[in-house]
Each structure stands twice: as structure tokens, then as C-alpha cells.
Amino acid sequence: MTVSDDLRGDHELLMQAVRDGGDIARSFFKKGAKSWEKNPGDPVTEADIAVDGLLHERLCENRPDYGWLSEESEDDLSRLDRRRVWIVDPIDGTRAFIAGREEFTVCAGLVEDGRPILGAVFNPVTGEFFEAVKGHGARCNGELLKVSDGVALEEARLLASQRMLERHDGIGTLPRAQFSFINSIAYRMALVAYDRFDATISLARKSDWDIAAAELIVTEAGGQATAPDGSEFLYNTQIARHDGVIAAGPKLSEDILSRL
């Protein structure tokens, strides 16, 4: 299967823009960035704004007929009339970025008719560049990705809150499971695709820009990424919000969803 010419061009454009956005983010990370709160408990930094500006300029200037949805841009609802829409989180994991932890990513994806067809998640400090093209697999720095599958939830490597899971009806205690946490949900999902972890589970509300690019990376690596009720995500709706995300291999995902 070959990538169509228009999608190949979009892929090349997206990859370079995200890499360049990562260079900006890394520069601010090393020297420090001013930060403030958009809303109580919702931080943003000058790095978020700078990366957002670069991505908007690169992507929208070259694809003026595409829509745009970003955490750090005013929502232009004309996107609802566009078949293809760029969905962007200039820095996913802003709290980690502010705290000096290497757990943030630059995320951007392209959706068509509400579903992702391109995705890029870049950790500019570790150098991990995750990417996916619909129907053509997912990669990290050129390495083809494949999720793990077959491990029991009780012994899984989980990117999730142990307290949150074990107090949820149906889950029970998981004394042999390994729990870790990373601030960037997109990075968590990409690490599941990379088989560093078996699943990530979040029952907190997410926005399109948190998960659109990473969902494609998970699914193209053979995994599943769904809402906690098992439903498929639809992006570029008027209210771009979701009730959480479960990302894992098919068997483990089915087990988690059945318990939830």
C-alpha cells in the first residue's frame, strides 16, 4: 500500500513542523520559560505560545483550506466546515515542563471527517519522535512499533493512578501490577505503542488535542484507544471533549473495559 501524494505531502509538512516546534520547546526548557495561569490550575508558558505560533504558521500557511484546533489558540468554529483539520497541543505536559521534568511532548495530528489520518508526538529532550500514517503503521525514530498484548491486568505495566483504579468498582486491588505516571497523556499513549508499558488509563476528561495524534500511533501499532465506555473517539466536533481514554493491546483493553 502506498501513501497518496497529498497525504505524503501533509506527512512531510507535519513532521518538519513538529520537529521545529520541538526545537523551540527544548530551547525554552533549557533556559527556563515564563509561566502563568490561563485559568485556576491551568498553567501555560511562553514556550506553549511560541510553539503554537510556529505550528499555526507552518501548517495553516501551507494548507489554507484545512481547519485548525489548538489548546493555545482561540477556537475558530469554521473548522467544523472543513473535512481536514489540524489538531495541536504545542506542549502536552506543561506542568512537567515547568517542573523541569523530561515528560512533555509536542503533539500534532491531522483528522479527516473526524478521524485521525496523521499523527506526531515528539519529546524534544529525549529525542523520541513518534509518528503514524493511517494504514501504514507507527514508528519511533524509524522503528516500527507494536503494542504488547496478552498480559493480565493484575501483572501489567500501567501508566495510571493506582489509587484511582483500585477504588473503582470492578477493578479490585492490583498488588502485582507496576504503576507509573507521566504528565503528558500523549506521551503515555505513545509509550504504550512502543511496548514500554502495557496500558494507560485515564478517567479524567480529555480534549481533542490531548489524544488525537497519539490515538493513531496506538492503533497503527496494533492497539486500541477508546473512551472509558469503549466508544470510538470522534474529533473536530463543536465540543472537543472526551470522558477519558483507555489505550492498550486488544485483549488487555477488552479486560479493562469490561471491568470499568
How many structural domains is the chain composed of? 2
The answer on 15 and 140 residing in a single domain is yes
Regarding whether 139 and 159 lie in a shared domain, the answer is no
pLDDT of residue 41: 87
Q: Which of 144, 163, 182 is the last residue of a domain?
A: 144
Asked if residue 251 and residue 221 are part of one domain, the reply reads: yes
Q: What is the mean pLDDT of residues 82-90?
A: 98
β-partners of residue 192 are: none
Structural domain ending residue among the three candidates 107, 124, 144:
144
Q: Does the pLDDT value for residue 2 go beyond 80? A: no
Residues 103, 180: one domain? no
Expressed as residue numbers, the domain containing 229 is 153-259
Task: Using CB atoms within 10 Å of the CB of residue 212, give its burial: 0 to 12 exposed, 13 to 18 middle, 19+ buried.
Answer: buried
Q: With beta carbons less than 8 A apart as the criterion, state whether 163 and 210 touch.
A: no
Chain segment 176-220, per-residue pLDDT in tens: 999 999 999 999 999 999 999 999 999 999 999 999 999 999 999
Q: Are the C-beta atoms of 207 and 242 separated by less than 8 Å?
A: yes
Predicted pLDDT at 104: 98
pLDDT of residue 1: 45
Q: Are residues 74 and 112 in the same domain?
A: yes
175 and 87 in a common domain: no
CB atoms closer than 10 angstroms to residue 125: 17
- 162 or 20: whose pLDDT is higher? 20
Residue 168's CATH number: 3.40.190.80
Other C-beta atoms within 10 Å of 178: how many? Answer: 13
> What angle do helix axes 46-62 and 5-31 make, rounded to 10 degrees?
160
The DSSP code for 216 is H
Give the domain CATH number at 22. Answer: 3.30.540.10
The last residue of a domain, from among 115, 144, 173: 144
Mean pLDDT calculated for residue range 94-109:
97
pLDDT at 46 over 90: yes
> Which whole number is the average pLDDT over 34-49?
94
**Count of C-beta atoms within a 10 Å radius of residue 29:** 22
Looking at the fold, whether 231 and 179 belong to one and the same domain comes out as: yes
Query: Distance (Å, rounded) from C-alpha 1 to C-alpha 9?
Result: 16
214 and 133 belong to one structural domain: no
Cα–Cα distance between 11 and 32 in angstroms, integer?
A: 31
More confidently predicted of 174 and 196: 196
> Are both 133 and 159 inside the same structural domain?
no
Average pLDDT for residues 12-17, to the nearest whole number?
98
Examine the domain organization and report whether 27 and 112 are in the same domain: yes
Alpha-carbon gap, residue 255 to 250, rounded angstroms: 9
Residue 108: which of 118, 94, 123 has the closest Cα?
Answer: 118
- Is 20 found in the same domain as 136? yes
Considering only CA atoms, which of 222, 213, 220 is closest in space to residue 249? 222
Q: What is the DSSP letter of 53?
A: H
For residue 24, give the H/E element and its range.
helix 5-31
Same structural domain for residues 130 and 162? no
